[in-house]
Amino acid sequence: MADSCCIRLHLLASVFLLLFSSFNLQGIAAENLSKQKLTSLILQNEIVKEVNENPNAGWKAAFNDRFANATVAEFKRLLGVIQTPKTAYLGVPIVRHDLSLKLPKEFDARTAWSHCTSIRRILDQGHCGSCWAFGAVESLSDRFCIKYNLNVSLSANDVIACCGLLCGFGCNGGFPMGAWLYFKYHGVVTQECDPYFDNTGCSHPGCEPTYPTPKCERKCVSRNQLWGESKHYGVGAYRINPDPQDIMAEVYKNGPVEVAFTVYEDFAHYKSGVYKYITGTKIGGHAVKLIGWGTSDDGEDYWLLANQWNRSWGDDGYFKIRRGTNECGIEQSVVAGLPSEKNLFKGLLISSFNLLQGIAAENLSKQKLTSWILQNEIVKEVNENPNAGWKASFNDRFANATVAEFKRLLGVKPTPKTEFLGVPIVSHDISLKLPKEFDARTAWSQCTSIGRILDQGHCGSCWAFGAVESLSDRFCIKYNMNVSLSVNDLLACCGFLCGQGCNGGYPIAAWRYFKHHGVVTEECDPYFDNTGCSHPGCEPAYPTPKCARKCVSGNQLWRESKHYGVSAYKVRSHPDDIMAEVYKNGPVEVAFTVYEDFAHYKSGVYKHITGTNIGGHAVKLIGWGTSDDGEDYWLLANQWNRSWGDDGYFKIRRGTNECGIEHGVVAGLPSDRNVVKGITTSDDLLVSSF
């Protein structure tokens, strides 16, 4: 994956160089300024007077200390957004948001996410034309805090020095979109690792007016830090539709964004109020961080932005600019991306977590564990209960099985809360009309995988089966391709990040594995092979298999057999949201608490009647309906073969979070990567969904 991304980036950079002079360019271009103009001072009494005496200006001008004795040339050097080749936006998705989203009349990210100190930070880019990097790095730092509750300061120096031609020309200007692509494919280290200014004085960009772009050293200033481990990544890079509503929705949902706009001479004098262009020559293009919006006392709608010219400039480092009129092009060039969890949780041992959520079994005695799971008393108690709503029997699947052997199948481990840090919770439009009954098997009858009932054997791999089977179905639904994905790949190769293989795992981690590593087909890496039984599940004590990373057939390549997910998310625990998710995108994985009586399920709508809590189980939810007795239910496919339950399926009470069934719903969307060769943008297009 990394190799293909790098090739793509270097090709793009080459295109920039080869065609830069011949492209129709879009973005921000400065006027050609005379030598006399360039050597004159940027701050002018005439401009201050013209602005302050204009009753319709709406803002106040002053001699900002930041540019005392600065020439126009020195000021111009700071404006580092260079004209962007149109090809830089090829394949970059334009994100739009739901127009029905109710937005506040005023919004300030500093108060909305008051725990995020980075949002309130005002920096100084010095004399380097690095605004394009600052606007991106500061926005992404904020988004890491918003999404992961992690206050981090990311390094502008990494982007300036190491992004190279993809981003432009370092201190001589760059492309904001290039910075976000760099985050996605290469990541960015922390300010602590690679500071913009260091403690020896001034050996980084911005110290002197003609300071060159620094060299890319790819090492942290502290020997105690590793460059690769300090990297923080982005998930996507996208533009925002230039409608003010879409820009506001993006900031409201995901945090600050980077904006680029044209700067005129009068902007250097901004002190307070809502800026709009009044007078002076066009100087160049600038990038900053947009953090909110509002309306002034004079009724002027504005955007609220943080600059990086230190607090001696403007309104304590901030400024407002007219909103809704694309003032100076401010609404035309809005870019952003989402932070990734990649590298965030390295080194954390699962055993060290003390904050766990999910499903925990009761501590069972040795006597209990060695007793039979199927009991006449349970069958009798359920079947004689007129309010049970379901029938119990001795399922062949667990004939002669002990409680310990049954318990081993229940592989959903109590999940560290950190596993859900940054995982989006998806909800759906409540106005969506849903049918009273739905069965994915008939809705997508061409997808044979949906009606498949498998057998996890004796391995606690339910967390992997529920995920792999749901994703297989979603590939068919989206791409009309019947594919059977490999449980064994996930079980063997995800490692401790997913849990403990046959000894249990975390469903959400399985979906993250699909996203970052992909999963091969069952044909490439089968769960059971045709020689009998050499894969997990054959014997009660069979260990988790080793990760071989090669297909059983010499005619298949492991990497080419990979199928990827775009995203990993939780579904809001309201039944309507779960139904909408299945209705729109296909089956989902659910986790729930299993009691002894569940082993005896034969038909009807299950609810817990009797027996001890044994553990957590994961299965595939494929539909819903209402029984003849008026009981709302979920329809689910288990992986205990067809001798268990209702031909391998079961129903469970819907709308009451029976056994926690509605609380642990996870899913993701399939990617066209490796499926439709040559398409590279669809993964990013889905960024706007979350």
Catalytically annotated residues: 462, 617, 638
Which stretches of 277-387 are assigned E, i.e. beta strand? Answer: 282-295, 301-306, 318-322, 334-336, 356-357
CA-angle at 104, arms to 574 and 434, nearest 5°: 25
Within 10 Å of residue 558's Cβ, how many Cβ atoms? 16
The torsion angles phi and psi of 176, rounded to 5 degrees, stand at: -50, -40
- The CA-atom distances, in angstroms, between 442 and each of 449, 476, 665 are 12, 13, 22
- The CA-atom distances, in angstroms, between 319 and each of 314, 549, 651 are 6, 54, 58
Give CA–CA dist 578/455, Å, rounded: 25
Exposed (0-12), middle (13-18) or buried (19+): which is 443, by Cβ within 10 Å? middle
Within 10 Å of residue 495's Cβ, how many Cβ atoms? 13
Q: Which residues of 406-426 are buried (b: 16+ CB within 10 A; e: fewer)?
A: bbbbbbbbbbbebbbebbbeb
The amino acid that residue 608 corresponds to is H
Helical spans, DSSP H, in 586-685: 682-685
Reference 337, options 154, 520, 164, 514; nearest CA is: 154
Reference 250, options 109, 122, 134; nearest CA is: 109
H/E stretch holding 631: none
Give CA–CA dist 622/338, Å, rounded: 30
Which stretches of 536-687 are assigned E, i.e. beta strand? Answer: 569-571, 588-595, 601-606, 613-626, 632-637, 649-653, 664-667
Reference 305, options 315, 290, 284, 287; nearest CA is: 290
Cα torsion 22, 26, 28, 30 to 10°: value is 30
3-state secondary structure labels for all residues of 282-299: EEEEEEEEEEEEEECCCC
Give CA–CA dist 109/188, Å, rounded: 23
> What is the token pair recorded at 102?
């109710």
Contact call for residues 194 and 158 (beta carbons, < 8 A): yes
Give CA–CA dist 448/518, Å, rounded: 21
Give CA–CA dist 302/323, Å, rounded: 4
Contacts for 418 with CB less than 8 Å, ≥ 6 apart: 345, 348, 353, 355
Give CA–CA dist 415/419, Å, rounded: 7
The length of the chain is 690
Beta-sheet pairing, 334-336 with 238-240:
antiparallel
